[in-house]
Amino acid sequence: MAVTKLSRREKIKFRIRRKLSGTETRPRLCVFRSNSEIYAQIIDDVTRKTVVSVSSLKATGTKTEKAKAVGTAIAEKAKAANITNVVFDRNGFLYHGRVKALADAARENGLQF
C-alpha cells in the first residue's frame, strides 16, 4: 500500500488524539489547514460540542497573515466565551509555518496552552 500525505497525516492525527481530549474546563483548540485557507475550532469533547469556530475565508493577505488573523480572532471569541486554557490539537499537521503562526497569535491574545 502506498503511503500518501493524507494517510500519513491521518496516522499522526489518530496518535495525537489518543493522548489528548478537550474537557469543559480545558477544551481542545483544533486547527485545520487547507491549501489556501485555515480554520480553528474550540471543541468540548465531553459534550461533543463546538464552542467557538473561526475561518480565514474573509481574511485578506498572505496565508501566514490569514493564520495570524484567525489566531487573534479565536482568542478573542474564546475570551468572550470565558475560555482561557485550551489543549492545542495540530490535527496531524507539522508545528511550523501557518499552524505555528496561528498558535503564536492565539497565545499573544490571551489563550494559554
Domains located in the chain, CATH noted:
28-108 (3.30.420.100)
pTM across the whole model? 0.91
* 3-state SS record for the chain: CCCCHHHHHHHHHHHHHHHCCCCCCCCEEEEEECCCCEEEEEEECCCCEEEEEEECCCCCCCHHHHHHHHHHHHHHHHHHCCCCECEEECCCCCCCCHHHHHHHHHHHCCCEC
Output the pLDDT for position 3: 84
Tell me the per-residue pLDDT of 27-74, one tens digit each, with 9 for 90 and over.
Answer: 999 999 999 999 999 999 999 999 999 999 999 999 999 999 999 999
pLDDT band for 104, please (50, 70, 90 cuts).
very high
Cross-strand pairs, 41: 30, 53
Q: Please state the φ and ψ torsions of residue 93, each to the nearest 5 degrees.
A: -85, 150
